Structure formats: C-alpha cells, structure tokens
Amino acid sequence: MPVSLVLALADVTFPFMTAMSEAFPKESELLTVLALFSAAVTLLSFLTGTLLANRLYARLGVATVALALPLMYLAGFGLWIVRFTLTTAVIVRFAQQVTQRGLSNAAFSAFYSVIPSARRGQVLAFMDGVPGQLCTVISGVLLIIASSLAMKQVFWLGFVTAVVAVVVM
C-alpha cells in the first residue's frame, strides 16, 4: 500500500473518532455504536467483495478499481472541507472502509499474483517489512501532528495527501 494511502487513513480515523467521541461521551455508548458500525462495514464489505468486485475487476481492470480508494479519500476530504458533522464523518469513514475492504485490498493483492510464485513470498515480506513499517511510523507521527492542528487543517492535509495518492496510483 502506498505511503500516501496510509497517511490518508490516519487522517480519516482521527476526525471520525473525534466526532464519535463527542457524540457519544459515555464509553459504553461509544463502544456499542462503534461495534454496530464495524458490523455494518463488515457486512457491506463482504457483499461488495462477493457480488460486485469481480464484475468491476473484469469490466474496468484491477488497477482502475484500486484507484477507487484514493478517489474515495479525495471525495471524503473534499466533503469534510465543505461540511464536517457526525453524519458526514460516518458516511466518509463507512465509504472508506467498504471501499478498502471490499474492493481495493483484493485489487492490491492481485498485483502480487503476476510475480513468479518462487519470489512472491520474498516480495510480500519486503512490502510488509519495509514500506509497511515505514508507513506505520509516518502515520503515528502524522497523528501526533494532527492532534495539534485545527480540524480544517487536518482535512486539507488529508485532501492534499489524497491528491498525491491519486497521482501515484
């Protein structure tokens, strides 16, 4: 996964959790709502992956479908720049999770199927070991920085990062 997508993921999680924490100040309510949200995401991701993904891959191509995730980030941050509410936070996070789990994760995995099987494990280990760890560190630093920024600045940071992700993809 490109570094820019992981950075955008950190930007989506931070505002979403901020909005949810403000809307549901009691910890038990927050956990209940987040569990229901996760269940709904899992269900729709499963349905998207089983009923829609293969059709999209065949019609548009795997690389084009992989582009759906950075485009979703772009649309989501654009929406948040215009209006950030609990409703828009839920809509953007829901769309991001379903797009990632139902469409783009499989698309990114398909990219590795063209690598000869004898080298596939080595390539996957490299991708998980080097860029994956780097992205984790960068996301942590970004979250620390984001906590000191105004929410609108976080949205602009995410929007610019999403533009970079679209260009990279």
CA distance 70 to 49: 18
First CA to last CA across the chain, in angstroms?
10
Report pLDDT for 119: 85
Distance of CA 26 to the CA centre of its chain: 27
Low-confidence stretches of the chain (pLDDT < 70) are 1-10
Enter the tokens of residue 79.
Answer: 């929406």
Cα→Cα distances 77→42, 81, 115, 148, 162, Å: 22, 6, 34, 18, 8
Is this prediction's pTM over 0.85? Answer: no
Exposed e or buried b for every residue in 107-128, given b needs 16+ CB within 10 A?
bbeeeeeeeeeeeeeeeeeeee
Task: Determine how many CB atoms are found less than 10 A away from the CB of residue 2.
Answer: 16
